[in-house]
Amino acid sequence: GAVVSQHPSRVICKSGTSVKIECRSLDFQATTMFWYRQFPKQSLMLMATSNEGSKATYEQGVEKDKFLINHASLTLSTLTVTSAHPEDSSFYICSAREGQLMNTEAFFGQGTRLTVV
């Protein structure tokens, strides 16, 4: 299957700082990318959907000013957690999809473990 690379895989930052997570589709053009958050022993919760060249669509309850998403190219989307706090500590996962059709498969990155101290 197609490869989605997420970087970094693990990051520890101080409270109040910002952290940028990158998600790259390595062998296909991702028209749509998704950002998820996974708390321990819980499922993946969709945070936002981004289409290349347009503003991301955020799910209800997700602060768009706190979780900045940029999808400037067909192979790269970034999630920036601004002014991070300990409650933002979580596992963040991106996925990328090549087409717009409903039955197009999405591929997942390996995730980023964020710890805010």
Residues near other proteins (CB under 8 A) are 1, 4, 6, 32, 34, 36, 42-46, 49, 93, 95, 100, 102-103, 105-111
**Contact (CB, 8 A) for 92 and 58:** no
Question: β-strands 112-116, 10-13: how paired?
Answer: parallel
How far is Cα 31 from Cα 89, in angstroms, rounded to an integer?
28
The Cβ of residue 53 has, within 10 Å, a number of other Cβ atoms equal to 10
**Least distance between other proteins and beta carbon 16 (Å):** 29
**Least distance between other proteins and beta carbon 79 (Å):** 16
Closer CB to other proteins, 1 or 86, in the complex: 1
Closer CB to other proteins, 28 or 108, in the complex: 108
